[in-house]
């Protein structure tokens, strides 16, 4: 079973738990996902099954869209509902225009200090393990990009916003920084991922839907093609001998196409794998598909 499932991850599940459940439902030998969602969060978790797992690493850098609901006036150790309350502040009277102005200041390239409760590593240890042990270490600010950020609702003390952002953006931290700019503190009460480029919300399926399709023998109808996540990469087609060389991991000197990563197919339209074209070096294989 090879392909991509756009799982609508339920709250309370870790990304790995959801991955293993989907892998079991499809009886897939290999599986991987394209970026963690915190257990309290819901929404899109692309899961790559079988040979599609070879594409997961290429999709980790894709931009994502979230809807978040922050509760102002209360900060937690984790920045979300799973941590204990560490600070409380009165919520100032805020006009919607003031909030919109602050949100506008966070659009574009910004710097974020990653939270202690994250999977980033310090001297080989995930930060969240150090945080659970009561330790805090210095973290360097990282540059991320907020492509779009807008207020969806303001019903004090709850602020709901939608953000379209680059890889590495912590929405928990964004909520805390927005609150600080408003003269307050906050934590995320809810977080939902709506999209991971190039996929969109309407293509998600729930665990319940997958289980129902499995019981009907139709679970493969929930699979997207192996190359669906890299559809924006240029397509290169190879004839017989060139296709054979590529499939054995050998370079193809006369392959025609733009410089950069490409999807590689034979003349019958069968996906051979992912490659990269460099001027003067031809096409080199990066991942070979065994479909």
Interatomic CA distance for residues 48 and 260, integer angstroms: 23
Q: Which of 168, 148, 163 is nearest to 70 (CA)?
A: 163
Interatomic CA distance for residues 32 and 62, integer angstroms: 15
Given a contact cutoff of 8 angstroms between Cβ atoms, the answer to whether 165 and 144 are in contact is yes
Kindly report the number of other CB atoms within 10 A of residue 66's CB atom: 22
Interatomic CA distance for residues 62 and 72, integer angstroms: 29
Q: Is 101 in the active site?
A: no
Q: What are phi and psi of 230, to 5 degrees?
A: -120, 30
How wide is the angle at C-alpha 118 spanned by C-alphas 116 and 121, nearest 5°?
85
Kindly report the number of other CB atoms within 10 A of residue 70's CB atom: 28
Residue of 8, 38, 80, 227 marked catalytic: 38
**Catalytic residues, which ones?**
38
């Amino acid at each position: 079973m090879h392909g991509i499932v756009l799982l609508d991850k339920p709250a309370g599940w870790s990304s790995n738990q959801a991955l293993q459940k989907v892998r079991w439902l499809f009886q897939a030998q290999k599986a991987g996902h394209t970026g963690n969602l915190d257990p309290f969060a819901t929404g899109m978790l692309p899961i790559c099954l079988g040979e599609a797992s070879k594409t997961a690493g290429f999709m980790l850098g894709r931009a994502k869209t979230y809807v978040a609901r922050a509760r102002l006036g209360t900060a937690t150790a984790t920045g979300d509902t799973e941590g204990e309350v560490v600070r409380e502040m009165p919520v100032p009277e805020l006009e919607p225009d003031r909030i919109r102005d602050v949100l506008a200041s966070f659009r574009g390239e910004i710097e974020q200090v990653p939270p202690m409760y994250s999977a980033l590593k310090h001297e080989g240890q995930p930060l969240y393990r150090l945080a659970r042990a009561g330790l805090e270490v210095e973290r360097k600010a990282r540059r991320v990009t907020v492509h779009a950020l807008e207020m969806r609702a303001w019903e004090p003390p709850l602020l709901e916003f939608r953000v379209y952002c680059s890889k590495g953006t912590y929405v928990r931290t964004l909520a805390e920084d927005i609150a600080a700019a408003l003269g307050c503190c906050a934590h995320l009460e809810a977080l939902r991922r709506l999209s991971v480029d190039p996929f969109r919300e309407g293509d998600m399926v729930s665990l319940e839907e997958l289980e129902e399709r499995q019981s009907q023998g139709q679970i493969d109808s929930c699979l997207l093609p192996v190359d669906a996540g890299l559809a924006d990469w240029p397509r290169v087609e190879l004839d017989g001998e060139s296709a054979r060389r590529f499939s054995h991991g050998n370079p193809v000197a006369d392959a025609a196409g733009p410089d950069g990563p490409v999807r590689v197919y034979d003349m019958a339209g069968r996906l051979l794998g992912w490659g990269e074209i460099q001027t003067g070096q031809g096409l080199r294989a990066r991942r070979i598909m065994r479909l």
